[in-house]
Amino acid sequence: MSQPDNFAAPVETELTGIDLINNPMLNKGTAFTDEERDAFKLHGLLPPHVGSLDEQVERRLKVLRAFATDFERYAFLRELQDSDETLFYALIASNLEETLPLIYTPTVGEGCQRFSEIWHRPRGVFVSYPNRHRIREMLSDPRFDNVRIIVVSDGERILGLGDQGAGGMGISIGKLALYTACAGIHPSETLPVLLDVGTNNQERLDDPLYIGWRNKRIGREEYDAFVEEFVTAVAERWPDVLLHWEDFAGSNAARLLERYRDRLCTFNDDIQGTAAIAASSLMAAVNVTGVPLTEQRIAVLGAGSAGCGIASLLLQAMIDAGVDEVEARRRFFLVDRNGLLVEGLADITPAQRPFLQNPEVVANWSREVPGTVGLADVVSNAHPTVLIGVSGQAGAFSESIVRTMARYIERPVIFPLSNPTSRSEATPEQLMLWSEGRALIGTGSPFPPLHWNGQTRKVNQTNNSYVFPGVGLGVLASGARRITDAMFMVAGKTVAALSPTVRDKDGLLLPPVTELRKVAVAVAKAVALQAQLDGVAQPCDAATLDARIAARVWEPHYRPYRKRG
């Protein structure tokens, strides 16, 4: 697989006039020089002023900040991405803290819900079930020859908002924008894909503007055959591609990962990326609380793919730290819609099985509702040191639950990770108030700064963007053939090692968002080295690996153009 042209070399193209301007990867707008306007017949199509990229960023920022709502800003940035990718990424990279919440969580949630309203230019590939016999044809376009990372969703479980059908393409586009903005993956190496297998969201089906396949979701047998056809076609087209699964329903996420993880280089970010950043944040919290990982008791609300992924990685981290596996499992309390997972329950998934509590453990617990064991009962009786939410249930961390936890734990660690903001299990302000200022808080989406005791503090955003961009960069730089669990473990540990709490117990749990590029490079190196240790990448010396990583980090800037032929 060839890489993109040298990032500094002149661009050669035969496109001219409006065709050149309409190519988002080649368009430079007013930054085309007079010589380029002569050569490519651009006079008259552009205003006479010859500008710079910095001027364009300043102009676009002024417009962006003038909008009244974040959805308007999201739509504006999507338009910019589809018209001038270099300008889009220059704006994003130089304003990460301001723009990441606009191109991804929380605004991308509304972007997916209203995707049909704003779609107007092709980006990525919609692989719809009625066109299943055309998958190879759709993927064969020469524009995709350089693709190295694919983010695919079927739109069934978008953040905490549920089934959005074809609107799930917004997730694939947004995730890949973070690969480029946070890790410098060249845009031409990325491809967003939406597997359109219908939707069970009646609001989408009744919407006359809905752009997806207007049909109920297909059955399990047809679904599996369709996904198999897609994966087979992808592996044939790009043998060394990284396939990133995103926002699949819990009933499909884990089993698809298990089915394909040994057939190609692939991972599920909801399972593995979420687990890694949760582990990073908890490891950083240990620097503050002084309670080692070996002594933590962890309650997780939401025992789907994300909750089980978090618990599995933390379980392995506990075992690695010296805790006996049987004892380590006793320290996890996973609560699903039907309450605490205990032995004897029906419909237990393979991912949930390691975390089933013995019924004898809870037999004598006091309970709010006889016959059930809810989260409040777990907090009252097990006294967890860590509370993690991936339930999508707004307000699930109630005042009573938080105050009870804080009664037994000096520095409770509480991570309401559900996205978007409207689905968060609690707000940082609530958690700080109910814990009397003692909670260590990490949220899935960005929140405004906290005001407590006359001080203002930023809120830790425990977001996957700290992990998966660096994982992708490390995979590409090392040529890894597969992704192992150890690669995500080391990614989490690398982010934790960069925590400000290493030097200052009053610091944030995670590095500032403005340092995401630095974080991605560090994660990439650690992941690449682990891939070599795991035997899924060819060994190379440290200097060579550093050079490979640096060579893959694209900085958005305009290159000179010359006419081909």
Binding site residue list for a divalent metal cation: 246-247, 270
Beta partners for residue 191, in sequence order: 150
Burial, 327: exposed, middle or buried (Cβ in 10 Å; 0-12, 13-18, 19+)? exposed
What type of residue sits at position 110? E
Q: Select which of 74, 89, 104, 223 is catalytic.
A: 104
Q: At residue 310, what is the residue type?
A: I
| Residue 173 identity | I
Catalytic residue list contains 525? no
d(CA 34, CA 336): 63
| Number of C-beta neighbours around residue 319 at 10 A | 15
Choosing from 28, 74, 89, 175, which is the catalytic residue? Answer: 175
Per the annotation, the verdict on 179 as an active-site residue is no
- Cα distance between residue 317 and residue 44, in whole Å: 62
414, HSE (Cβ side, Cα atoms, 13 Å): 34
Question: Which residue stretches of 143-291 are H helix?
Answer: 169-183, 202-206, 220-237, 250-260, 274-289
Longest alpha-carbon distance in the chain: 84
Of 327, 267, 275, nearest to 300 (Cα)? 275
Q: How far apart are CA 145 and CA 241, in angstroms?
A: 11
Binding residues: 157, 246-247, 270, 419, 463
- Give the dihedral of Cα atoms 42, 43, 44, 46; nearest 10 deg: 60
Residue 247: both structure tokens together: 């926002």
Residues annotated as binding site for (S)-malate?
A: 157, 419, 463
Sign of CA dihedral 273, 279, 284, 285: positive
User: What's the CA gap between 383 and 396, in Å, rounded?
Assistant: 17
CA distance 453 to 460: 18
Strands lying side by side in the sheet with 149-153: 125-128, 190-196, 149-153, 242-245, 265-268
What is the 3-class SS of 449-463, one letter each residue?
CEEECCEEECCEECC
Pairing of strands 440-443, 242-245: unpaired
Cβ-contact 104, 177 below 8 angstroms: yes
Which are the catalytic amino acids?
Answer: 104, 175
